[in-house]
Structures are given as structure tokens and as C-alpha cells.
Structure 1
Amino acid sequence: METRAVGHDAIVKVEVKTRHLAEHPAAKKGQFAFAYQITITNHSDVKVQLINRYWLITDGGGKRSEVEGAGVVGKQPTLAPGDDFQYTSGAIIDTPVGTMEGYYEMECEDGEMLRIPIEVFRLAVPNSIN
């Protein structure tokens, strides 16, 4: 899954990989834990810095939660043209299937702000859906 955003002659690509964490302590509470690995690549001709993030997490029952704040995993990385930044984080939901979507707010070196959309991606326990 990948998302692209265009602005200020900038293209920022976001790739997402997810996996179910079957051995996570949340499983003992009847919940489902997932890790998601994000790779952000700057395909533009200017430096960009990730300032804020927003996530909407929805479980299979329609329960929604929002997460927003500065940076990701405690960082606000700056990406020069051609650079990428990778991180792993996680989400816990009450059902074996859910979704995430959101956006990053990034600032170009000249101060222009970009909103980089992250399209809906699935959180799913293997073999829980066809």
C-alpha cells in the first residue's frame, strides 16, 4: 500500500506493512495487537520535516479512536531529497479485523506546510478474512 501527496513540486511516498502480534499481552484481554511499519520517502527536490501525525483507527465493530500529536515515535525527522525514514509502531483493537488511515503534516524548508494523506490500510489476523 502506498500513498503519494503532491505540493510545492514535492512528492512524498508512504508505504505501510502490517503484522498481527499474536503473543502480545493484549491477547490475554481478548484484544488484538498489530505492528505497522511505515517507510516515508522524499521524492521531491526540497527538504521536508514531519511535524505532526493523525490516525483514525477503526475496529471491525465500528469503534473508532483517534491518535494525534507531534512527530512519530518521539521523532520529527527531516528528509532531504531522496531520503527515507522508517519506523515501527503499533495499535490494539477489540476485533480481529480493523483499519487505520490518517495523515502526516510536513513542513518544506521554505515553510510551506503539506498534508500527506495515508490511505486506509487493513489490520487483520491472518486467515480471519477471505
Structure 2
Amino acid sequence: MMVTAITQGIKISVDTTYEEGYSDSANEHFMFAYRIEIQNLADFSIRLMRRKWVIFDSNGTQREVDGEGVVGEQPIINPGESYNYVSGCNLKTEIGSMKGHYQMLRLSDETLFNVDIPEFQLIAPYKLN
């Protein structure tokens, strides 16, 4: 199920999949992939500088991931353009969630601002039965 959020004209859409072939339930290893589309609906160019994730696992643990760019890139996204990437997250249980934000740089005046990444669920499909 896709989730979306718009912050200051930047639209973030997230779609997730459970990666059964990379998961090992006997060893509490559940792998999920997520595809993110960043659409620039604003009238200014941006550069994605940093990302921060808060990852929740249904066993009660929470962890944070903070770093430069995404998948090794700091893309520039001009008005009307979009940028897509796929990454992954492993959990110790079949159910969890992620949320966070991107730090963007408005290129015209070098202003930094945060763009929300909407919270999305990570659920192994067999848990939905």
C-alpha cells in the first residue's frame, strides 16, 4: 500500500514489499524493500542532502539511521522532476514501520529545510491473513 506526504511542495511516495527470499524467520531476520519517489512540485530546485529514519520493530525496539544522501547519492531535483530509488530494511519481527525526513537544500538561496517521509508499515503478507 502506497503512502504519500507533501511538505513545502515536495511530494514523497513510498511503496513497500516483503522480500521472502532474503528473510529467515528461524533466525529472526525479516527483509523488506521500499521504493521511494520524490517529486518536486515546487517552483525551485532542490538537492537532497541527508536522510533520517526512525525504524520501529513490533518487539518494541526502535533504531535511528542518519546519514548523507540516499543510496550513495545527493540528487538535484528540478521543478516538475522526480527522483526514485529503492532501498531495504531488516527487522527482527514480521511487522514494523518506518518514518523520517529528508534534509533538502533550496539551491536558489541555500536554505535548508526538512521534508517529512510519511510513516509506512512493513508487514510480511502472511501476517495479514
TM-score over 0.5 (shorter chain): yes
Equivalent-residue separation in structure 2 for 1:29 and 1:48 (angstroms) = 42
TM-score, normalising length: structure 2: 0.93
* Matched letter for residue 14 of structure 1: I
Q: Which residue of 1 aligns with 2:16?
A: 18
Q: Greater shift after overlay, 21-30 or 67-76? A: 21-30
Q: Give 3-state SS (helix, strand or coil) of 1:15's partner.
A: strand
Number of aligned residue pairs:
126
Contact preservation (8 Å) 1:53, 1:105:
yes
Paired residue for 1:52? 50
- 1:44-123 matches, within 5 Å, as 44-109=42-107, 110-123=109-122
State the superposition RMSD in angstroms: 1.3
Q: 2:24 & 2:33 partners in 1: Cα distance? A: 13
CA contact (8 A) 2:48 2:76 kept: yes
Contact 1:26 1:92 in 2 (8 A): no
Q: In the alignment, what sits opposite 2:7?
A: 5
Matched-pair contact (CA < 8 Å) for 2:12–2:118: no
| TM-score, L = length of structure 1 | 0.92
How far did 1:112 drift? 1.1
Instruction: Quote the sequence identity (%).
Output: 34
Measured against aligned partners, the alpha-carbon deviations of 1:23-48 in whole angstroms (never above 9, x if no partner) come to 10555622100000000000011100
Using the TM superposition, give the Cα deviation of residue 16 of structure 1 relative to its aligned residue in structure 2, in angstroms.
Answer: 0.2
Q: Which runs of 4+ in 1 moved over 3 A?
A: 25-28
> Tell me, which stretches of 5 or more residues in structure 2 are unaligned?
none
Q: Distance in 2 between matches of 1:60 and 1:88?
A: 23
Tell me, what secondary structure is at the counterpart of 1:23? helix
The answer on whether the counterparts of 1:53 and 1:71 sit within 8 Å (CA) in structure 2 is yes
